[in-house]
Structure 1
Amino acid sequence: MHRRSFLSAVLAPALASAPAFAQGSDARARTLRVVPETLTTILDPHFTTSFTARDFSYLVFDTLFAVDDQWRPQPQMVERWQRSEDGLTWTFTLREGLVFHDGSPVTAEDCVASLRRWGARDALGGLLLRATGTLEPVDAATFRLVLSQPFGLVLEALAKPGAMVPMIMPKRLAETPATRPITEPVGSGPYRFVAEEYRPGDRIVLARHAAYKPRPEPSVWASGGKHPRFDRVELIAMPDVSSQVSALTTGEVDYLERLPADVLPILERNRQVKVQVVSPFGYQGILRFNHRLPPFDNPKVRRAVMMAVDQADYLPGVAGRAEFGRECRSFYGCGTPYETNAGMPAKPDLEAARRLLAESGADLSVPVVILHPADAPGIASLGLVTQDLLTRLGFKVDMQSMDLNTFFGRRARPEGWNIFHTTNTVPDMQTPLQNVYLNGAGPGPAGFAGWPEDAEVERLRAAFAAANSEAERKTLAEAIHARAAEAGFYMPLGQFVAASAWRAELTDVPTGPAMFLWNIGRGAR
């Protein structure tokens, strides 16, 4: 029986007669129970590009700046700032009354240490720090950043919404070596981590941060006032989709982050549930090569696979509905300011791919290892399509299944794999600095998993960072795209959105490029 038929048969009677959510107890009514797509086991906002870790971190930590729905940086922890006329000196002063969850005040020293740690891990942060001469506290509430060379995206870097987000933590934690994740998530955000109730891989419990002071402005995406209106937020692991749907319809849980399209008709018929796409830009599917190991250390082999990719084969598995997906060959995503197809194969051509593969001299007798996070349906479906594609090209394929958190650990090591797939939010991809898959620094701490190495791409990215005009940035973005595409940094697999679902009695559910859970209430205001 197909999943859609099974779900309809099992859940339709319950949906027709499901009672309104019973409050049960005041404690339950004051608890928001959320099922993320996957439950992170990495509690460090600076350690992984996983958006499930980022979404958790947005509850616990806060940022100096944040973007609104026009992608404009807005102050968050910062009260005021000054920029020198030459654009090289930036002085930031924190809002009064910012307090970490351990009771200590947020200071300029904490901010400086946090930014240094973030810059050691994040591609855009690394570029900012490499352009920085000094970054030092001035007093308890003020710090100063002095650039050694022009960098036109200071506020955009500090406000970036995509992982890894420059979130602020106490100095004692920020001094943890960047090669090791913190295990004590202490921030100054609207909710605090409840360590005694943490069950790795099962649930994360957060409690309202009583000392949190929301900004007075309205909340818009990641910016403005973040009001923790629930006493508790529980993030719950529930990998089985039918269990998620059942739990939502009965009121056992309140919010499902990301659902396959085939279950949406069931929920859309339920008046006690709301189904909505909260991020209009959605996600980009990604096929990433390991540039350090054969056969994909050979650019002709990478290019051959790219030429063979037909995005129409990938989109049904991640989008489900035709209106949820679109073919898009731009590294920056479609509908973004720097959208371009420069350097990309114009269309799928399997025969041309086979000819180029033969010309490459690649040894097809050695199995290609694909890392396959089987518990993440939105990623796993991509791997199955690539497995078939590589087989048709003549490769042998070793599909190695694992859970998502193991996957993140495996892909960080250069040995033992050849391809991984993932999805990333389009807002995280929209510039050559935010898109970590365009990092051409190669192996080492400055590079990113897959480790393409291209000095010219790095030179162009640095020029993009220093550019003062939008026209110059657009020219550079196209040049970077063309070179990275021709070198086979990775292959986009299309662009798609996904729907979330929540109990209809929830109010003020935020929209934006991440799963934001502040400001949500239950029932009439």
Structure 2
Amino acid sequence: MHRRSLLAATPLLAAPALLPGLARAQSGPARAATLRVVPETLTTILDPHFTTSFTTRDFAYLVYDTLLAVNDRWEPTPQMAERWETSADGMEWRFILREGLAFHDGTPVTAEDCAASLRRWAQRDALGSVMLRAAETLDAPDQRTLRLRLKQPFGLVLQALAKPGAMVPMIMPKRLAETPASRPVTEPIGSGPYRFVAGEYRPGDRIVLVRNEAYRPRPEPSVWASGGKRPTFERVELIAMPDVSSQVSALSTGEVDYLERLPADVLPILERNRAVRVQVVSPFGYQGVLRFNHLLPPFDDVRVRRAVMTAVDQMDHLPGVAGRPEYMRECRSMLGCGTPYETTAGMPLKPDLEGARRMLREAGTDLSRPVVIIHPADAPGIAALGLVTQDLLTKLGFNVDLQSMDLNTFFGRRARPEGWNLFHTTATVPDMQTPLQNSYMEAAGAPNGFAGWPKDEEVQAGRAAFAAASTEAERKTLAESIHRRAAEQGFYMPLGQFTAASAWRAELAEVPTGPAMFLWNIRRAR
């Protein structure tokens, strides 16, 4: 929120940004054959089924593959699958794998691996869990055929298996997929275009991947996560570089090739540099999220949750994460704006600070009790939101305890119900666009629900009906009803919608766009 502007930091930017880790890497493979990428943060969780972290998802897209994928028209297409078949009543689905697929350990990919992987994924993913509950069996009648038999209608089978956002239904060997869903897999083995190099892994500092020579890209052009994913570099390095000025300098000097997400105040520096290209690669952007812990006071009281929601002015939160007016928009829909199910049903439609104070008084809220905000200070796109909320809660009279930590510690803390009252995050809008995909609208409560743990039978029944609906008109009606109830019960407060720019060296060509950071098919033009 109060980031020092880097526009005045030209002496700093003129200095070499080469870090010791990068210096050592100069003696490795030829620089031209290595793609060096600086994610917004570098994950230490390498299990795609264990967290909704963007950086875990983006890493996983390099290592793993999926049965299906969506293109830029949101159409599910075959990926590891060669084709699919379904019964006339839609109650049985068969997915036939492409021939010759192999994991990085040399073992062939089988339908049993797929079934085990999907069962594990579905235990943690909001949409996957609804599909699993609707399933009678998920098995493998032969080595190349995955079979899903439903015991109740579920109209979103293809959408679930092709979903592009976290948690993505990645396929791993059965022996790893049998790891309990409560414990992360620490051996990243998939069948994707790049292989994880365990010997060069430095947690929190660097992840190294090398080309999977055995990978068999699909013949179709690559569109988003679908089609031919060609590993065009011998080596991909994902590098931790928390300081934004160091990122800008390293990109300007060519020591790194790609910066995932940048604050708007540094963009003019890079836009003036002919050796660099700046672009928004995810036009759908992100939704800011203020999430309550429904299990602990004071936010176990819906009246207190609604009071805070009523006080929120999204235009206070958005500048810190978007920076430029063209990158931000007010949006009070949990399902995102510009999506098929956009609605503001049940939401407070404008900020009212005095009204919120009155609501707190009427609820008899104990304002002396500390309200703990867990705050990932090394994730600028999230941290700015927390600083604004800290100020807002203070104005409302709360005693606020902002506890700063790194992002990976944050993920661990928020998974436990004790010790915190609020957290913030950002989620890609495509991940939020239906009541099933949006993890924050899941209402199973503890211990099986998503962090925050709202519990509401009406919302759960509505989500089940949404899953079984056979027409788009039914789904739209249900989505509005579910949204109204979730908003009225204060599941969470959207903090607006925004996009963010990435930047890369201008000699890179064919950089993919889409709702995640895709790093295949990129090549050096000179």
Is residue 2:110 matched to residue 1:129? no
State the partner residue of 1:504: 506
How many Å separate the matches in 1 of 2:378 and 2:234?
A: 30
State the partner residue of 1:490: 492
Asked whether the 8 Å contact 2:7–2:266 carries over to 1, the reply is no
Task: Please tell me the residue identity of whatever aligns with 2:241.
Answer: M
Task: Please tell me the residue identity of whatever aligns with 1:386.
Answer: T
Q: CA deviation at 1:11?
A: 3.0
Find 2:347's aligned residue among 344, 348, 352: 344
Is residue 2:5 matched to residue 1:3? yes
Report percent identity of matched pairs: 77
Q: CA deviation at 1:14?
A: 9.1
Find 2:433's aligned residue among 427, 430, 433: 430
Q: What SS does structure 2 have at the residue aligned with 1:4?
A: coil
Asked whether the 8 Å contact 1:295–1:301 carries over to 2, the reply is yes
Q: What SS does structure 1 have at the residue aligned with 2:385?
A: helix
How many Å separate the matches in 2 of 1:216 and 1:222?
A: 14
Is residue 2:207 matched to residue 1:204? yes
Which consecutive aligned stretches of 4+ in structure 1 deviate over 6 angstroms post-superposition?
12-15, 23-26
State the partner residue of 1:265: 268
State the partner residue of 2:186: 183
Q: What SS does structure 1 have at the residue aligned with 2:316?
A: helix
After superposition, the Cα gap between the structure-2 partners of 1:442 and 1:9, relative to the gap in structure 1 and judged at 3 Å, is: same
State the partner residue of 1:454: 456
Asked whether the 8 Å contact 2:7–2:265 carries over to 1, the reply is no
Q: CA deviation at 1:111?
A: 0.3
Deviations along 1:195-238, whole A, 9 cap, x unmatched? 00000000000000110000000000000000000000000000
Q: CA deviation at 1:81?
A: 1.1
State the partner residue of 1:95: 98
How many Å separate the matches in 1 of 2:259 and 2:443?
A: 36
State the partner residue of 1:215: 218
Find 2:282's aligned residue among 279, 297, 306: 279
Q: CA deviation at 1:367?
A: 0.6
Q: What SS does structure 2 have at the residue aligned with 1:385?
A: helix
TM-score, normalized by length of structure 2? 0.97
State the partner residue of 1:466: 468
Asked whether the 8 Å contact 1:284–1:423 carries over to 2, the reply is yes
State the partner residue of 1:60: 63
How many Å separate the matches in 2 of 1:224 and 1:361?
A: 57
After superposition, the Cα gap between the structure-2 partners of 1:26 and 1:192, relative to the gap in structure 1 and judged at 3 Å, is: closer
TM-score, normalized by length of structure 1? 0.97
Deviations along 1:423-446, whole A, 9 cap, x unmatched? 01001001101100000000012x
How many Å separate the matches in 2 of 1:380 and 1:118?
A: 29
Task: Please tell me the residue identity of whatever aligns with 2:260.
Answer: E
Deviations along 1:134-165, whole A, 9 cap, x unmatched? 11111111121000000000000000011110
Q: CA deviation at 1:8?
A: 3.5
Task: Please tell me the residue identity of whatever aligns with 2:234.
Answer: D
Q: CA deviation at 1:362?
A: 1.4
Task: Please tell me the residue identity of whatever aligns with 1:478.
Answer: E
Task: Please tell me the residue identity of whatever aligns with 2:233.
Answer: F
Q: CA deviation at 1:416?
A: 0.2
Query: Pairwise CA RMSD of aligned residues?
Result: 1.4
Asked whether the 8 Å contact 1:119–1:125 carries over to 2, the reply is yes
Q: What SS does structure 1 have at the residue aligned with 2:477?
A: helix
Is residue 2:385 matched to residue 1:382? yes
Asked whether the 8 Å contact 1:7–1:263 carries over to 2, the reply is no
Asked whether the 8 Å contact 2:6–2:245 carries over to 1, the reply is no
Is residue 2:232 matched to residue 1:229? yes
How many Å separate the matches in 2 of 1:101 and 1:226?
A: 16
Is residue 2:151 matched to residue 1:148? yes
Is residue 2:443 matched to residue 1:440? yes
State the partner residue of 2:515: 513
Task: Please tell me the residue identity of whatever aligns with 1:479.
Answer: S
Alignment of 1:351-430 (within 5 A): 351-430=354-433
After superposition, the Cα gap between the structure-2 partners of 1:269 and 1:13, relative to the gap in structure 1 and judged at 3 Å, is: farther
Deviations along 1:287-335, whole A, 9 cap, x unmatched? 0000000000000000000000000100110000011000000001111
Q: CA deviation at 1:523?
A: 1.7
How many Å separate the matches in 2 of 1:229 and 1:276?
A: 21
Task: Please tell me the residue identity of whatever aligns with 2:507.
Answer: E
How many Å separate the matches in 1 of 2:49 and 2:364?
A: 40
How many Å separate the matches in 1 of 2:29 and 2:306?
A: 59
Asked whether the 8 Å contact 2:7–2:268 carries over to 1, the reply is no
Task: Please tell me the residue identity of whatever aligns with 1:501.
Answer: A
Deviations along 1:240-292, whole A, 9 cap, x unmatched? 00000000000000000000000000000000000000000100000000000
Q: CA deviation at 1:96?
A: 0.5
Q: CA deviation at 1:9?
A: 4.4
Q: CA deviation at 1:128?
A: 0.2
Task: Please tell me the residue identity of whatever aligns with 2:105.
Answer: D
Q: CA deviation at 1:4?
A: 2.7
Task: Please tell me the residue identity of whatever aligns with 1:324.
Answer: Y
State the partner residue of 1:330: 333
How many Å separate the matches in 2 of 1:313 and 1:439?
A: 27
Task: Please tell me the residue identity of whatever aligns with 2:186.
Answer: T
Asked whether the 8 Å contact 2:13–2:246 carries over to 1, the reply is no
Asked whether the 8 Å contact 2:343–2:480 carries over to 1, the reply is yes
Q: What SS does structure 1 have at the residue aligned with 2:453?
A: coil
Asked whether the 8 Å contact 1:292–1:450 carries over to 2, the reply is yes
Asked whether the 8 Å contact 1:12–1:266 carries over to 2, the reply is no
How many Å separate the matches in 1 of 2:10 and 2:345?
A: 45
How many Å separate the matches in 2 of 1:223 and 1:24?
A: 35
After superposition, the Cα gap between the structure-2 partners of 1:193 and 1:24, relative to the gap in structure 1 and judged at 3 Å, is: closer
Task: Please tell me the residue identity of whatever aligns with 2:314.
Answer: Q
How many Å separate the matches in 1 of 2:264 and 2:439?
A: 28
Q: What SS does structure 1 have at the residue aligned with 2:372?
A: strand
